[in-house]
Structure 1
Amino acid sequence: MSPILKEYLNKRVVIIRTDGQCLIASLNGFDKNTNLFISNVCNRINKEFVCKAQILRGSEIALIGLLDIEDDDGLTSIDEAKIPMIKDTKNIIENEHIIWEKVYESKTK
């Protein structure tokens, strides 16, 4: 994804994180692991200001795209009640430690 991000530098982008949060921000920098440095971060759903600057790890990003509207005020507000919840995309395994204990036991026998 990193080569494509060159075209997005210093422009407003939409970012969907793995936890389902949707952000609008200015992309100020990135690295080969798709870690992003963003500024003027707002929540896309309620247009609430989040922070002035933030660093997002590449593993936290599900999607990033160019915002085609220059002015954030031109975006229509979204009714939160009508938005389907995005399933958390993190790979969480219940009682993972028990599985690893069994793997360890099988290797040490």
Structure 2
Amino acid sequence: MTLYQLEVFLAVIQTGSFTRAGELLHTSQSGVSHSIADLEKELGIVLFTRNRSLIKLTDAGEQILPHAREIVGQKDKINQVVAEAKGVKSRTLRIGAFPSFSGT
């Protein structure tokens, strides 16, 4: 299991779509699908139930979710510590825009 696979897992949950997760991560839907398939194969469980209009976490996926969030969150904290050690202050900036303006 890789950190990237966990980030992909969380992106699918966040967006509700393999395609939108790919857009969020700047990769293809196929790349997202392969990452999830590889993660499921390595773990030996199915994480999502899928059909044309719905992606839903399985019970096993629900149980893994808080741990994946914690692991990825710790990576983000490490990056923040490193940035501060280099003298770079990092903050999150959220910008809201109407879809017609932002192009989404």
TM class by shorter chain equals: under 0.3
* Greater C-alpha Rg: 1
Higher helix share: 2
Higher strand share: 1
- Give TM-score, length-normalised by structure 2: 0.25
